[in-house]
A and B are shown apart, each in its own frame.
Chain A
Amino acid sequence: MINIRNVRKSYDGRSYAVDNLTMTMNEKEVFGLVGTNGAGKSTLLRMMAGVLRTDEGEILIDSQPVYDNPAVKKDVFFIPDDMYFFPTATGGDMAAYYAGVYPESFSLDRFNFLMENFHLDRSKKIAAYSKGMKKQLSIILGICSGTKYLLCDETFDGLDPVMRQAAKSLFARDMEDRGLTPILTSHNLRELEDICDHVGLLHQGGVLLDRDLNDMKLSVCKIQCVFNNEEDRKATEEGLDILIKSNQGRVYNYTVNKSREDIEEHFKNVDTLLFEVLPLTLEEIFISETEVVGYDIKKIIEG
């Protein structure tokens, strides 16, 4: 389990990239970190990988601090957005290197197997690989390292759909086989929606939401309705935890922080011409939650 407690991190001493963040990531779950640009996702991941030191607070992996602690870091593999490979190295060279760095867990056999399946030449210089191939290689290296935690920063971006699916399958298998805990960041929320068990929504260094994905989907719903009169509408809106409200003529759309059951209960005695409760996608949840805190498309466009 990864425990992040009141973590703060500043690069310039004036503003915080991660600000008083507290979060828990359970084992054997896929944790998705989503957030606005500059929300602190990569910073958080780098701190979790032990690259960056926290200014305040602590990050505990399996109850031990991660920074400069090889005993913990041997269970963590970090795949950054743009992974570094030795300048003249081949895939095989990098595998040999990681086999030395993770001597207890790295599997060269699996590496060879996966390289073949992904149609990557292990004796070809990495410098000659395409961007997508490098991403594939980094995922293969991460998987083969055999670590308990795999930190992936925008890792699926740049992969073609087939490879994305293949990578997700690999994660799923390793979760089942050896209890891998992948922690992913991505801007492609549809991608995360497919794979994540738990999602943390970051904004301006803090957490907006940190929930199980299913709970999140169920707890935020979209309502489309047409009221008979204005009095009914006003009365109904009271007590409805509205995140976003919009209307086109008499058709009102609400995004509310309630479960389908609660909403239906709330509307039970309201006479409406049209009433429909729709589930939200992760992307819609993201937009609605961030809009509440001022990250509004309209504001961005219209100022």
Chain B
Amino acid sequence: MTLKRSSRVSDTLMGSISKNRTWAMALLALFTFLWFGVSELISLNSVKYAIMDQTLTGRLQHTAMTFLGLGSYSFPLVCGFALILGMQGFAFLYDSKKVDFYFSQPIKRRTRFAAIYLNGILHFAVIYGLGMILGLIIACAMGGFSGVLIPTMLLEFVNEFVLFLSLYSITILATLLCGNLFAGFCSVGFFWLAEIVIRVMIWALCEVFFTTWHDNANIERLMTNGITTPILNHIAGMAEGGMGGMASSANIDFKAFSEAVAAFLPEMGKNILIAIVFCALSYFAFEKRRAEYAGRSVVYPFMENVYKWVVALVAGTGFGMIVGTIMGEMESSPRLNITSFSTVFAICVGVFVVCVISEGLFAMNVKKVFRRFWHMPIIAFLCLVVFWSFDNDWFGYDSYMPNASSLSSVTMWPSYDMTGSENYRKYNEDNSNSMLYGVEGYITDNVKAADMESALQIALLGQQNIRAQKHDGAGEKGTDMLVCYDLKNGKQIYRSINVPYSVDKDLMDAIITPDDYAEAVNGYSGAVYALEKIQGKRELYANDFTGEDREIGKAEDVEEFLKYYKEDIDEKFDYSLAASSIPIANVSLTLSVDTGGHYGDVYNFYFPVYKEYAGTVKYLENKGMDLSEENFRKKIMAKAKSGTISVSGYMSVINEDDSEPSEGYVSMEYTEPDKIEAIVKNVVRGDITTQAPFMKPDLLGYDGLVVSIYIDEYYGGSIDFRLDESKAPEFLMEDLKKGYDQ
């Protein structure tokens, strides 16, 4: 082929492909314009109207960044491009007339593939690029321009381009594996979503079956590193360095930009790899694809089995799990009972439905729905095998205990929310865009168990207890904890455990009494870290659990308070104190960052204060607080008597025929002063567990009654206390029982 002829043919080919794409491009151009033009304009305009202070520029810059910045929310638009361009480009293979037309021409298959493939990329690049330029013009015109906008926009273009490339290649492969449009759509759906669905299914199975499953740590691993789903990698990049990092900061600078780039690069790298692999597979499929496949559902018979078996396995397992879980809950069983008829039946139904629909679609003939009927029992059996493998812990997840020799360190901490909403560092950003530690993050990274042997003993105890609780309905009451094994090979393995209250005190003290652990778990380390990083308004409040938040200091007082608090926790904090005492007060440190009032502005750190913390108590008393027990009773009694109280809880009532006790939620209100006094005199503080690490909820009568005292000044609502049933006055229990009977 001469060069001239080759060039003429290529031009013709590109021209004809572009012409065929006219409608698709018009549609995509419209959506691009709506996003980068109309939506951005509306958003920037609304910011201008809403913000009138000095933060306006920052907010406009952030808003522009949400459209143009790294990890912007434009990726659904990119998905649309990939889907439409990928399918449209190769859909001619579904029509034998078009196949005759195109394949009879003197153009090599590889030339045609390359032309269609590159044409799609070119169209995306041009339309999306123009859309971004339009967005940039609007951002500049509306005052949303910042120094890093153009570089971050360029990088975002590369980032979205890589996402497009990977999704586009996957879409093309999925399209090439089918012979008609409907099957093509299903195939694309399969390739895009199957991996996500399988991962969600594994997650759900782990949640249901593994008692030591630690959701927060593992879900991130499970939902990243997409193989056929580059969206997972893209979202992981966004979570690490995207919108979160760029948009919530006060000053967008090049340091933030470079950090976001560093976070995005590995995820982009994965997607580039996916794009290369799927492009190669697509080319191979195109080269090997026969013209006569037009009109068939699935062109390669082996793919019929891949589609059917994967979907049927997921559907059977999922349906079985849902029904099994519901039935298990109905039977008050803590585990999924896989031998139950309902579960097996649900599996069979799920598999049957998918197999029948699949075969009907493959043959495009409803009479063929029972073709290869023998597949069904095998798939249903495999679903059961999946259940068994999880139920019997074939992979040893629940019984996992690392060898001490393979460990570099162990970290463990109570799993309930220790510092309010600021528990996980990924939610916390400071004004320099670097991540801010929450307590859990701080402990995981910095506070390793000094006594690894004791840590492993506690971990084993906790593992045995949590498994006994959930599997056999036995086990002791204990503290929910998380353990992180840092292996020498660099891996981190997280597990949930439940350490029984009867745990040896010395064993626990070996872990929690070292100063760095006590400081971290009580919020001190996180606060110090935050104070170093965050320049903003600082306020100290104290609450003695009577419904009052008292301001006890400003920025200049923080250091002094922390000094006393550190001394106290270093000296006094141990397992006996933490597990068996109720804090008498809670001090909160609030750091406010002036970024215009959106998420990430305010950071709260909570410090539980026990009566044993002499220095801190004295400090608070100097600030005008009376933390004595007498004062506590006096204050809540006064509040209660000035209004009404309500007592609510679950009542267990033995049925008249001596059958199983029934249980119901009841609530009673009291206004009589003598009854209020009788009830309130024995209440204990409520709503403390989130701020006091290792405290036994039993101390608060956690399973008992909730006494709500209505007070106008407390957000116009009520403050809750706990009342142990054994300490409740007789009339109260009778009233509640009567209330339940009614």
Chain A: residues with CB nearer than 8 A to chain B?
A: 11, 46, 49-53, 68, 70-74, 76-78, 80, 82-84, 86, 97, 99-104
* Known A76-B106, A101-B105; 20 more pairs at CB < 8 Å: A46-B104, A49-B103, A50-B103, A51-B100, A52-B290, A52-B292, A68-B109, A71-B106, A73-B107, A80-B104, A86-B19, A97-B12, A97-B15, A99-B12, A100-B12, A101-B9, A101-B12, A101-B106, A103-B5, A103-B8
CB proximity of B89 to chain A, nearest CB, Å? 15
Q: Is the CB–CB distance between A50 and B104 below 8 Å?
A: yes
Q: Is the CB–CB distance between B97 and A82 below 8 Å?
A: yes
Q: Is the CB–CB distance between A86 and B16 below 8 Å?
A: yes
Q: Is the CB–CB distance between B291 and A84 below 8 Å?
A: no
Question: Does B39 reach chain A (CB closer than 8 Å)?
Answer: no
29 residue pairs bridging A and B, Cβ less than 8 Å apart:
A11-B292, A46-B104, A49-B100, A49-B104, A51-B103, A51-B104, A51-B291, A52-B290, A52-B291, A52-B292, A53-B291, A68-B109, A70-B1, A72-B106, A73-B105, A74-B5, A76-B104, A80-B100, A80-B104, A83-B97, A84-B97, A100-B8, A100-B15, A100-B16, A101-B9, A101-B106, A101-B107, A102-B106, A103-B8
- Residues of A within 8 Å of B100, CB to CB, are 46, 49, 51, 78, 80, 83-84
| Known pairs A51-B104, A70-B107, A70-B108; A104 contacts B5 (CB<8 A) | yes
Of all chain A residues, which has the CB nearest B15? Answer: A100
In the bound assembly, the distance between CA atoms of A101 and B107 in angstroms comes to: 8
| Known pairs A51-B103, A74-B106; A46 contacts B12 (CB<8 A) | no
| Complex interface residues of chain B between 1 and 56 (CB less than 8 A to chain A) | 1, 4-5, 8-9, 11-13, 15-16, 19-20
- Residues of B within 8 Å of A52, CB to CB, are 290-292
Question: Does B101 reach chain A (CB closer than 8 Å)?
Answer: yes
- Residues of A within 8 Å of B16, CB to CB, are 86, 97, 100
Question: Does B198 reach chain A (CB closer than 8 Å)?
Answer: no
Question: Does B98 reach chain A (CB closer than 8 Å)?
Answer: yes
CB proximity of A246 to chain B, nearest CB, Å? 41
| Known pairs A84-B100, A100-B11; A53 contacts B106 (CB<8 A) | no
Q: Is the CB–CB distance between B104 and A71 below 8 Å?
A: no
| Known pairs A80-B97, A80-B100, A84-B97; A73 contacts B8 (CB<8 A) | no
- Residues of A within 8 Å of B1, CB to CB, are 70-71
- Residues of A within 8 Å of B627, CB to CB, are none
CB proximity of B301 to chain A, nearest CB, Å? 9
- Residues of B within 8 Å of A53, CB to CB, are 290-291
Question: Does B99 reach chain A (CB closer than 8 Å)?
Answer: yes
In the bound assembly, the distance between CA atoms of A143 and B305 in angstroms comes to: 47
In the bound assembly, the distance between CA atoms of A99 and B15 in angstroms comes to: 13
In the bound assembly, the distance between CA atoms of A101 and B13 in angstroms comes to: 8
CB proximity of A54 to chain B, nearest CB, Å? 11
CB proximity of B286 to chain A, nearest CB, Å? 11
**Residue with the greatest number of chain A CB neighbours at <10 A, chosen from B1, B4, B105, B291:** B105
Chain B: residues with CB nearer than 8 A to chain A?
A: 1, 4-5, 8-9, 11-13, 15-16, 19-20, 95, 97-101, 103-109, 290-292
Please give me the 3 A-B residue pairs with the lowest Cβ-Cβ distance, nearest first.
A100-B12, A73-B106, A84-B101
What does DSSP make chain A's interface, helix, strand, loop or mixed?
loop
In the bound assembly, the distance between CA atoms of A74 and B290 in angstroms comes to: 21
What does DSSP make chain B's interface, helix, strand, loop or mixed?
helix
- Residues of B within 8 Å of A73, CB to CB, are 104-107
- Residues of A within 8 Å of B98, CB to CB, are 84
In the bound assembly, the distance between CA atoms of A100 and B106 in angstroms comes to: 11
CB proximity of A112 to chain B, nearest CB, Å? 19
Q: Is the CB–CB distance between A83 and B4 below 8 Å?
A: no
- Residues of B within 8 Å of A11, CB to CB, are 292
| Known pairs A46-B100, A86-B19, A103-B8; A68 contacts B108 (CB<8 A) | yes
- Residues of B within 8 Å of A97, CB to CB, are 12, 15-16
CB proximity of A22 to chain B, nearest CB, Å? 22
In the bound assembly, the distance between CA atoms of A155 and B12 in angstroms comes to: 26
CB proximity of A142 to chain B, nearest CB, Å? 11
> A51, A70, A80, A86: which contacts B106 (Cβ < 8 A)?
A70
- Residues of A within 8 Å of B8, CB to CB, are 100, 103
Q: Is the CB–CB distance between B20 and A86 below 8 Å?
A: yes
CB proximity of A72 to chain B, nearest CB, Å? 8
Of all chain A residues, which has the CB nearest B11? Answer: A100
- Residues of B within 8 Å of A76, CB to CB, are 104, 106
Of all chain A residues, which has the CB nearest B4? Answer: A103
**Residue with the greatest number of chain A CB neighbours at <10 A, chosen from B8, B12, B15, B100:** B100
In the bound assembly, the distance between CA atoms of A200 and B107 in angstroms comes to: 29
In the bound assembly, the distance between CA atoms of A49 and B9 in angstroms comes to: 18
- Residues of A within 8 Å of B20, CB to CB, are 86
CB proximity of B588 to chain A, nearest CB, Å? 68
- Residues of A within 8 Å of B15, CB to CB, are 97, 100
**Residue with the greatest number of chain A CB neighbours at <10 A, chosen from B15, B104, B292:** B104
In the bound assembly, the distance between CA atoms of A52 and B19 in angstroms comes to: 26
In the bound assembly, the distance between CA atoms of A94 and B291 in angstroms comes to: 22
CB proximity of A38 to chain B, nearest CB, Å? 15
In the bound assembly, the distance between CA atoms of A167 and B101 in angstroms comes to: 21
- Residues of B within 8 Å of A86, CB to CB, are 16, 19-20
In the bound assembly, the distance between CA atoms of A10 and B674 in angstroms comes to: 97
| Known pairs A68-B108, A73-B105, A76-B104; A103 contacts B99 (CB<8 A) | no
CB proximity of A83 to chain B, nearest CB, Å? 7
In the bound assembly, the distance between CA atoms of A73 and B111 in angstroms comes to: 14
- Residues of B within 8 Å of A74, CB to CB, are 5, 106
In the bound assembly, the distance between CA atoms of A255 and B95 in angstroms comes to: 44
CB proximity of B267 to chain A, nearest CB, Å? 38
CB proximity of B252 to chain A, nearest CB, Å? 47
- Residues of A within 8 Å of B12, CB to CB, are 97, 99-101, 103
CB proximity of B80 to chain A, nearest CB, Å? 22
- Residues of A within 8 Å of B109, CB to CB, are 68
Of all chain B residues, which has the CB nearest A55? Answer: B290
- Residues of A within 8 Å of B99, CB to CB, are 51
Of all chain B residues, which has the CB nearest A103? Answer: B8
In the bound assembly, the distance between CA atoms of A104 and B109 in angstroms comes to: 20
CB proximity of B38 to chain A, nearest CB, Å? 29
- Residues of B within 8 Å of A49, CB to CB, are 100, 103-104
- Residues of B within 8 Å of A71, CB to CB, are 1, 106
- Residues of A within 8 Å of B4, CB to CB, are 103
In the bound assembly, the distance between CA atoms of A77 and B13 in angstroms comes to: 17
Of all chain B residues, which has the CB nearest A96? Answer: B12
Q: Is the CB–CB distance between B9 and A103 below 8 Å?
A: yes
- Residues of B within 8 Å of A83, CB to CB, are 97, 100-101
In the bound assembly, the distance between CA atoms of A5 and B484 in angstroms comes to: 71
CB proximity of B3 to chain A, nearest CB, Å? 12
- Residues of B within 8 Å of A80, CB to CB, are 97, 100-101, 104
> A46, A70, A99, A102: which contacts B291 (Cβ < 8 A)?
A46
In the bound assembly, the distance between CA atoms of A137 and B482 in angstroms comes to: 77
**Residue with the greatest number of chain B CB neighbours at <10 A, chosen from A53, A80, A97, A103:** A103
In the bound assembly, the distance between CA atoms of A102 and B15 in angstroms comes to: 15
**Residue with the greatest number of chain B CB neighbours at <10 A, chosen from A68, A76, A86:** A68
In the bound assembly, the distance between CA atoms of A83 and B20 in angstroms comes to: 17
In the bound assembly, the distance between CA atoms of A70 and B105 in angstroms comes to: 8
In the bound assembly, the distance between CA atoms of A51 and B112 in angstroms comes to: 14
Of all chain A residues, which has the CB nearest B110? Answer: A68
- Residues of A within 8 Å of B292, CB to CB, are 11, 52
In the bound assembly, the distance between CA atoms of A97 and B677 in angstroms comes to: 95
In the bound assembly, the distance between CA atoms of A80 and B8 in angstroms comes to: 25
